[in-house]
Structure 1
Amino acid sequence: MTDSGTALRERLDRDELLVCPGVHDPLTAGVADAVGFDAIYMTGYGTSLSKTGYPDAGFITMPEMIDNAATIQERIDVPLIADADNGYGNATNVIRTVREYINAGVGAIHIEDQTFPKRCGHTKGRQVIPREEAVGKIEAAADVRDDRAEDFVLIARTDARGTGDGSLDEAIGRANDFLEAGADVAFVEGPTDESELERIGREVSGPLVYNFVGDLGSSPYVDLSSLDEWGFDLVIFPIASTLSTIPNVHADLSAFADDPVGAMQAIDDEFNAQPVGSLHEFAGFPEVVDWERQYLPDEEQDKYAGSLGDDPESE
């Protein structure tokens, strides 16, 4: 059993909505962890964009996603919920996918029923595989969970609502079939208004996740208290860190283009005013120094005497 899975299940069992910000790499995950959340979500869109430079349209591979998830989970102290796209193939591929995510130590993944290549769940052109095939993939994932890590949380997502001929009836039917096949949590992607959310909460027979994508998607802005009232257990804000990063970096570098020295000073001042400490402290240099003292020969400490540079311990 994964410690992250156990911790996540405990949080999901609480009588309150679990709120998870989305992050795209260990750096943004470290910031989210410093702020303080009970769980954190790894975005597939942000991972693809930050690691490959391509959008969430099936360009990123399973090893790249799992590597990102593993390094994020290593960086944070709370459970990570990771996007596993469509499992990167059929049911037999899903077996390896789930095993690898379990080995990465994350608390949960979600697998969707899109065709390959897949695309962002809030863009046009999505297609889903036949329901029977999708159920088989969830059954395979659940069997791996039961065999390898019983507390690992399996979230099953359906994109049926957003296809060309998709209906909410089909999406709800798939969600219930996925739960019966062994999923722990159901994820109906792309409800279009509050009435659809209420119906999902009423007709899906199990824990539920809501994907809060804001203006980039088709799902509505809703109060968290309403989601809780309708029966949702988990809400993810998948592209929070990605949307925050792009405009802030653009603004800073635009200023840098006009006045490099002044912009650098402003960036320094802004960073020094925030609560996570210096860059070295945030990155973990004090811990590295502790490791050196604990495990390296005493003479290795001589390198600090008279040397120049920031002292991570004094920050």
Structure 2
Amino acid sequence: MTEYGAALRDHLDSDGMLVCPGVHDPLTAAVADAVGFETIYMTGYGTSLSKIGYPDAGFITMPEMIDNAANIQERIGVPLIADADNGYGNATNVVRTVREYIKAGVGGIHIEDQTFPKRCGHTKGRQVIPREEAVGKIAAAADTRDERGEEFVLIARTDARGTGGGSLDEAIGRVNAFLDAGADVAFVEGPTDEAELRRIGDAVDGPLVYNFVGDLGSSPYVDLSSLEDWGFDVVLFPIAATLSTIANAYADLSAFADDPVAAMRDIDDAFNETPVGSLHEFSGFPEVVEWERAYLPDEEQEKYEGSLGDDVE
């Protein structure tokens, strides 16, 4: 259960920045894996929107998030970093949250210091719990990691910068306290400009995450080389696959509404231009055939003789 945690730690210890595209389900994760990323990120916003149809406003529950993370990690061959929101309760709830994510086999998670219900880190109206309570939650998460899967990576996030009257000083103070409590990586959500990013890099005593949300939120577009120079180790692009899915599905289905046959041909052509092979090959049908040949009686193989359909062998 710590295989992907160990791999993620190796990436963090190596030179260079770790770039993680955000995905929201096993399908988008499989695409990211096929492209060749070293680590993939499970977005909470995209998971909520794709799994239950609600925005990232505290509607999705821990079991739903765990289930999605486990299915994604099963489908890909690289570590998954998963959003664990605010741990789904107080410090005692965090113990179970970390245990469940470790059981799911993911490489690591991030936990934030928002109140319940939480909301997207780039929307107005966020609130954070007192610093002492937040540190206790991270300490509980770190102790659980050490007991159940020491290779598991714990990323501690603060949303203090984006609350009413929130200051960068408070955010930096919080993540340094989280690192002292046992977190592996620090995550200041919502810096507003390059000067704040440079200050975070100078003042935080540990590995750093930058959440690259683009036009969705308040954090600026910056070059990856600059982020690396300022001391950032991991860059998350949390909503990349979700926005891509919405934009491309809207464009394709709009064309489909005008001329379904022509649009379907264009969709087929676009898919066939990718290097993933046929849909059946990409989805794993050849592996299913291998399982059948290895474990089912010989007479079960006869179903392929004379049958119609695409060859899935």
TM exceeding 0.5 = yes
> Are positions 1:224 and 2:195 aligned together?
no
Cα distance in 1, alignment partners of residues 233 and 266 from structure 2: 41
1:61 aligned residue: 61
2:151 aligned residue: 151
Unaligned runs of 5+ in 2: none
Name the aligned partner's letter for residue 99 of structure 1: R
Output the TM-score relative to the length of structure 2. Answer: 0.99
Shift >2 Å, 4+ stretches: none
After superposition, the C-alpha distances for 1:243-282 in whole angstroms (9 at most, x for unaligned) are 1000100111111111111111111111111111110000
Alignment RMSD: 0.6
What does 1:43-192 align with in structure 2 at a 5 Å threshold? 43-192=43-192
Name the aligned partner's letter for residue 216 of structure 2: L
Partner of 1:58: helix, strand, or coil? coil
Cα distance in 2, alignment partners of residues 185 and 300 from structure 1: 51
Unaligned runs of 5+ in 1: none
2:301 aligned residue: 301
Output the TM-score relative to the length of structure 1. Answer: 0.99
What does 1:241-256 align with in structure 2 at a 5 Å threshold? 241-256=241-256
Cα distance in 2, alignment partners of residues 294 and 175 from structure 1: 52
1:32 aligned residue: 32
Cα distance in 1, alignment partners of residues 289 and 298 from structure 2: 12
After superposition, the C-alpha distances for 1:4-63 in whole angstroms (9 at most, x for unaligned) are 000000000011100000000000000000000110000000000001111100010000
Name the aligned partner's letter for residue 59 of structure 2: F
Cα distance in 1, alignment partners of residues 270 and 112 from structure 2: 40
After superposition, the C-alpha distances for 1:280-306 in whole angstroms (9 at most, x for unaligned) are 000000000011111111111111111
Name the aligned partner's letter for residue 11 of structure 1: H
Deviation at 1:155, TM superposition (A): 0.2
Partner of 1:312: helix, strand, or coil? coil
Identity of aligned residues (%): 84
Name the aligned partner's letter for residue 101 of structure 1: Y
Name the aligned partner's letter for residue 54 of structure 2: Y
Name the aligned partner's letter for residue 292 of structure 1: E
Cα distance in 2, alignment partners of residues 295 and 165 from structure 1: 63
Deviation at 1:73, TM superposition (A): 0.2
Name the aligned partner's letter for residue 95 of structure 2: I
Cα distance in 2, alignment partners of residues 215 and 251 from structure 1: 20
